[in-house]
Amino acid sequence: MKAASFRNLGILAHIDAGKTTVTERILFYTGVERRMGEVHDGTATMDWMAEERERGITITAAVTHCPWRDSILQLIDTPGHVDFTAEVARALRVLDGVVIVLDAVAGPQAQTETVVRQAAKHEVPMLLFVNKMDRPGANFEVAVEKAVERLHQGVIPVQLPFGQGTELEGVLDLIEQKLLRWKKADLGVELEVSAVPEAEQERVAAARLELCSRVAALDDGWADIFLDNDDLPNDILKQGLRLGTISRELVPALCGSALHNCGIQPLLDAVVDWLPSPMEVAAPMAIDPQTGREIEVQPDLKAPAAALVFKVAHEEHGNLAYLRVFSGMIHKGDALFNTRTGRREKLQDLYAMHADHRDTLDSCGPGSLFAVPGMSRLRTGDTLCASDRRLLLASIEFPEPVLQQTLEANDASSRDRLGELLAILVREDPTLHFQEDEETGGFLLSGMGELHLEVNLHRLQREFKLDVRAGSPRVNYREAVGAECSASGHLEIPGDSGMRIDVSVRLSPSEEVIPQLMLAPGLDPLPQSVLDELQKPQILQGWVGAEGFPLAQTRVLIESWSASSERPPSLDFFLGALQSAVAAAMGEGNVVLEPRMDLHVEVPDEHLSAVLADLQKRHSEILEITMEGDIQQVHARVPLSDMVAYSTALRSQTQGRGSFQMAADGFMPRS
């Protein structure tokens, strides 16, 4: 299949907006599935993990492919819960477009804003699908208005609902100026197309006028036509919507009800017509690891192969690695160079994935999303490329974990097994970290939230059949230098002819969470092997401060170093002296940091005062309170240490009617 025929798209949304139901309907109407999977009864094709089906939520990004018209849609269904935001981050790195699914009653919610910000950061074109138009209280116009206000995107309706709430009958197409209805008898497979009813003609005309005005603003020639006619021809409208969507100046808004099989086929048409193919997006830049020169990686079939590993999943006989091809052709049996490890990896088999099922491929070209089994050495973010054009594609950025939990096995043999399994989970999910707990002999597992830790604990117990004891989640503190300071440190080896290294450093506060290491100008030359390692951005990650917490928001400048021997120091020897200097510099002025959380609470009006009083006790900073019907929405910032087990407290205060979303928002000094 040619790259121009691909549409690599993701389905993104806040939890419970109906994102997976939209995906299931896409699979049904494109003929990939013969029945409609449902989230509520655990039959959704894309939610294939046991945890997903039991909880009714998406936990891991699932990949599939399906035909529509003359195109192939390569689709990633992503989680909507904030604890699994890493799955959104990895998907956006390889997608060319996204569909943002919005709840027609709730409008843009906390995680909607987060995923839109992520998509905008990656400059990914967007479509908006206002779902659940059949719910009581659904209002398309209000949902779009709030999307414009909160998402800061150029949202423009291309449809209107025909009826809303329980009276929803279909949608009004503003381009063709037709009414579309779906037959319930055949599950919405066939559309009934008719003229716009007379009672709706004025509303359609006004909305089309606004659509034409927004498209006309993209081109002077179109503007002239619009000024002369107060309208644009349909071919210009379609051309303009494609141009505006790909340039990210417009976000076409469609509507419907996925659960009741309304509006999916026009959404598929919009994906093919307005979202870009791999040939129409900006070519990514890569680095030549030998020269440091930037290289533009064009989606050229004849160019040397280059692919990015965006996901790794555990299998019994090695990892299943998911890749996107950015240039060249990759064939079954090819051996590609892994820039991170410096080793060649042979791709014995290539698979097109359909959730947890797979179809064999002989080759993959630019734009292809595929999986390779048996890749135990591959990691998320690795670049695989041809040996004659070695390059390094930009990796994937993941947030730092904020909660920590102790895990203990029942005996020594189970403890070794636990360590092996934690390594597997961390390879799959870069937002999980683990380390040995010196106090208990167990392990400390860090993640993005209570649900994130709970899901992985259940995987250990159920999927891997290991009996594990878990402690209560606790906050993952960090430590930073409070003010600029300097010190020297040294390391010597007794009996090694007085071999000694002295290092002088200056520490200063930084806004970056991960500590940074810099070399002073004019520094005495370091051995190349040491210099190469010191230039890696993660070199200081895991170092601890005076109180034993990992170092953060600190810049370390090596001002000078000296050795008592002419023999070049090894990396470990130099790092030992450097650690000594850093430890000496960090003293009483250190600042202990804790995660600051961005909190969104939805609560019935009659319970607002109790919730606010509780948040005040938790040292929260209330940023905004807005009213949506009889629901109050509270936006606040709060230290994570005060929010452990908040879900239980909120249920008690609101008789189970309150809900909240919480996401990491940097660090703050511990109160």
Please tell me the distance from the alpha carbon of residue 242 to that of residue 276, in angstroms, as a whole number: 8
Q: Provide the pLDDT for residue 117.
A: 86
Q: How far is 255 from 101, CA to CA, in rounded Å? A: 9
Strand partners, 518: 557
Q: Which of 197, 201, 102 is nearest to 155 (CA)?
A: 102
Compute the Cα dihedral for 480, 484, 487, 489 and give only its sign.
positive
Q: Judge contact between 649 and 616, C-beta under 8 A.
A: no
Q: Are 368 and 329 in contact, with CB atoms under 8 Å apart?
A: no
Q: What are the pLDDT digits (tens) for 603-629?
A: 888 899 999 999 999 999 999 998 877
pLDDT band at 670 (very low <50, low <70, confident <90, very high): confident
**What pLDDT is attached to residue 525?**
87
Q: What is the pLDDT of residue 397?
A: 84
Res 280: pLDDT: 94
* Local confidence band at 658 (pLDDT 50, 70, 90 cut-offs): confident
pLDDT at 1 over 70: no
Dihedral (CA of 258, 159, 79, 75) sign: positive
- pLDDT tens digits for range 314-337: 887 778 999 999 999 999 999 999
Mean pLDDT of all residues belonging to the chain: 88
Question: How much is the pLDDT for 44?
Answer: 66
Exposed (0-12), middle (13-18) or buried (19+): which is 317, by Cβ within 10 Å? exposed
Average the pLDDT over 641-656 and give the result: 80
The H-or-E segment that residue 223 falls in is helix 220-229
- Confidence class of residue 47 from pLDDT cuts 50, 70 and 90? low
Q: Which of 401 and 99 is assigned the larger pLDDT?
A: 99
Q: What is the pLDDT of residue 440?
A: 65
| 526-548 average pLDDT score | 83
How much is the average pLDDT of 143-149?
Answer: 93
Q: How many CB atoms lie within 10 A of CB 193?
A: 11
State the average pLDDT over residues 140-156: 93
Q: pLDDT tens for residues 411-470? A: 877 888 999 999 999 999 988 998 887 666 788 898 888 888 888 999 898 888 998 888
Residue 507 binned pLDDT confidence (cut-offs 50, 70, 90): very high
Say yes or no to pLDDT of 545 above 90.
no
Q: Is the pLDDT of residue 306 over 90?
A: yes
pLDDT in tens, 552-563: 899 999 999 998
Judged against a pLDDT cut of 80, whether residue 56 lies above it is answered with no
pLDDT at 495 over 70: no
101, 126 contact by CB (below 8 A): no
Q: What pLDDT does 43 receive?
A: 64
Whole-number pLDDT of residue 625:
92
Cβ-based neighbour number of residue 446 at 10 Å: 22
Given pLDDT bands bounded at 50, 70 and 90, which one contains residue 547? confident
Q: Which residues of 33-65 are buried (b: 16+ CB within 10 A; e: fewer)?
A: beebbebeeeebbbbebebbeebbbbbbbbbbb
